[in-house]
């Protein structure tokens, strides 16, 4: 197997990281603790949870369970973050562990088994599980951001009403195999 799975996975993680960051940039610091109701997490708590999960899952993940005994998952859902800079620091700490780990994997590692709560996953399954988990939460961050910003929201994708123009531009180019995220990173 070539390195296309690892390369594609890293690009996808970078893409979702960027979506979260572009959302957080738009949110006033005073709104990072905003929650729609008691069952919905704020951006602060989602980021704290993502970071805690990333640090636990990706630290020494080929040799120890992804649910580390030192992790306090319940605390991740208590909003203790006070500033946007603190939020960004927490955010980056988790992503650093993830990228340091992924960028040091080899194709031979992909078939190895890694555990989360004693459930074995191939590294490919492990990566896919975490990619889905993180994109789910980043989608929540984006939705909260849209709710907070309302009409001031700066779209992260194709603006409404511009799909026809966007598609015309894409279809005017030569067809070739290419990961759509390569242009970003």
Give the residue-averaged pLDDT of 105-118: 96
CA–CA dist 162, 114 (Å, integer): 44
pLDDT band at 176; cut points 50, 70, 90? confident
* Structure confidence by residue, pLDDT tens digits, 70-100: 999 999 999 999 999 999 999 999 999 999 9
Domain borders along the chain are 4-156
Confidence at residue 107, expressed as pLDDT on a 0 to 100 scale: 93
HSE-up of residue 62 (Cα within 13 Å, Cβ side): 12
pLDDT band at 179; cut points 50, 70, 90? confident
Domain 4-156 has CATH 3.40.50.300: no
């Amino acid at each position: 197997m070539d390195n296309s799975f690892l390369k594609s996975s890293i690009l996808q993680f970078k893409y979702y990281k960027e979506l979260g960051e572009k959302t957080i940039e738009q949110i006033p610091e005073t709104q990072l603790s905003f929650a729609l109701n008691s069952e919905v997490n704020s951006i602060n708590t989602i980021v704290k949870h993502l970071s805690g999960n990333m640090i636990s899952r990706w630290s020494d993940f080929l040799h120890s369970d992804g649910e580390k005994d030192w992790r306090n998952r319940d605390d991740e859902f208590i909003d203790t973050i006070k500033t946007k800079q603190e939020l960004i620091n927490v955010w980056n700490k988790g992503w650093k562990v993830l990228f340091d780990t992924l960028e040091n994997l080899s194709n031979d590692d992909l078939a190895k088994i890694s555990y989360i709560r004693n459930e074995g996953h191939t590294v490919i399954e492990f990566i896919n599980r975490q990619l889905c988990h993180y994109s789910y939460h980043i989608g929540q961050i984006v939705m909260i951001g849209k709710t907070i910003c309302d009409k001031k929201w700066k779209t992260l994708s194709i603006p409404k009403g511009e799909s026809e123009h966007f598609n015309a531009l894409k279809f005017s180019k030569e067809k070739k195999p290419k990961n759509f995220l390569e242009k970003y990173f």
